[in-house]
Amino acid sequence: MAVKKHKPVSPGTRFLVTNAFAEVTTDKPEKSLLAPMKSSGGRNNQGRMTSRYRGGGHKRRYRIVDFKRDKDGVTATVKTIEYDPNRSAYIALLEYQDGEKRYIIAPNGLQVGKEVVSGEGAAPVVGNTLFLKDIPLGSTIHAIEMRPSHGAALARAAGTYATLMGREGRYAVVKMPSGEVRRILSECKATIGTTSNPDHSLTVVGKAGRSRWLGRRPRTRGVAMNPVDHPMGGGEGRASGGHPRSRNGQMAKGQKTRKPKKQSNKLIITRRKSGKRR
């Protein structure tokens, strides 16, 4: 895994750092696993803007990814490692013994030609998907389900992983990428290993135009707006804007915004790091 620093032959490449795509083996996706993807530009079904600073960007097609890994006991062979424009991690194309093809989130270190399997009895090796009750303690896992048979929801971004810390009755104790320690039902599945493309966070966009290619429009600071537009707007001269908060007034930068009576609070053992300086 590596990144590529470009020569400063233009202002746009002076600080540009891109992915070298050393692990990617093909640039042609599997046609049977593609679906159309319509760009909304941040508008809802009434045509009104509900999410600002979105629009434009290159046209994409969605890759249908198998998050459930419910084809248990059937061995699959890795055919390709591919780039997915809809997520930060790479995806891997699997071909099962019966000829069916599926995409999965590619674990780091998974190579073309390797075999993976899911379900009970699978070995705890990179790329295999097991129930949390069958995974050895201390293992590094990703693509974790929160509810049985609902598909992976946690630790899916590039370079992320969780650690299986222990078991408490019908629950497994998992340390999340954020540092939070929580209980997850042991009947949920998870994949062994860490997600691919761990150097994704080292890339530098380099110029504003590249953000436009990705569908991101210029973002206006709240302190530069008028009071009618943002809680941090207004004031004489270059006012700081008061307490940091969102356009809807939700506090930011350290204040607690989680609902105190949220049902899943009882499953959390240790909260994630707050980021405050002690």
Give domain status of residue 6, yes or no. no
Residues 194 and 145 in one domain: yes
Read off the pLDDT of each residue in 22-47 and give the average, rounded to a whole number.
96
Contacts of 138 (CB under 8 A, 6+ apart): 163, 164, 165
Contact (CB, 8 A) for 68 and 42: no
Give domain status of residue 212, yes or no. no
Residues 171 and 229 in one domain: no
At residue 184, the 3 state secondary structure works out as strand
- Between residues 242 and 143, the one the model is more confident about: 143
What pTM was computed for the model? 0.91
Residues 224 and 196 in one domain: no
Which CATH number goes with the domain that contains 262? 4.10.950.10
Give domain status of residue 9, yes or no. no
Quick count: other Cβ atoms within 10 Å of Cβ 189? 26
pLDDT in tens, 171-195: 999 999 999 999 999 999 999 999 9
Residues 32 and 156 in one domain: yes
pLDDT of residue 277: 47
Contact (CB, 8 A) for 90 and 130: no
Residues 142 and 229 in one domain: no
pLDDT at position 198 over 60: yes
In whole angstroms, give the CA distance from residue 224 to residue 242: 12
In whole angstroms, give the CA distance from residue 189 to residue 68: 8
Residues 126 and 237 in one domain: no
In whole angstroms, give the CA distance from residue 185 to residue 139: 16
pLDDT in tens, 62-82: 999 999 999 999 999 999 999
Q: What percent of the chain has pLDDT over 70?
A: 98
Give domain status of residue 47, yes or no. no
Residues 229 and 130 in one domain: no
For residue 133, what are the domain limits? 19-40+56-200
Token pair of 162 as six digits = 């969780």
Give domain status of residue 80, yes or no. yes
- The average confidence (pLDDT) of the chain is 94
Which CATH number goes with the domain that contains 157? 2.30.30.30
pLDDT at position 274 over 70: no
The candidate with the shortest Cα–Cα distance to 181, out of 191, 195, 194, 171, is 171
The Cα-based distances of 136 to 9, 73, 124, 173 in angstroms read 51, 19, 8, 12
pLDDT of residue 2: 87
Counted domains in the chain? 2
pLDDT of residue 275: 57
Residues 175 and 262 in one domain: no
Residues 139 and 251 in one domain: no
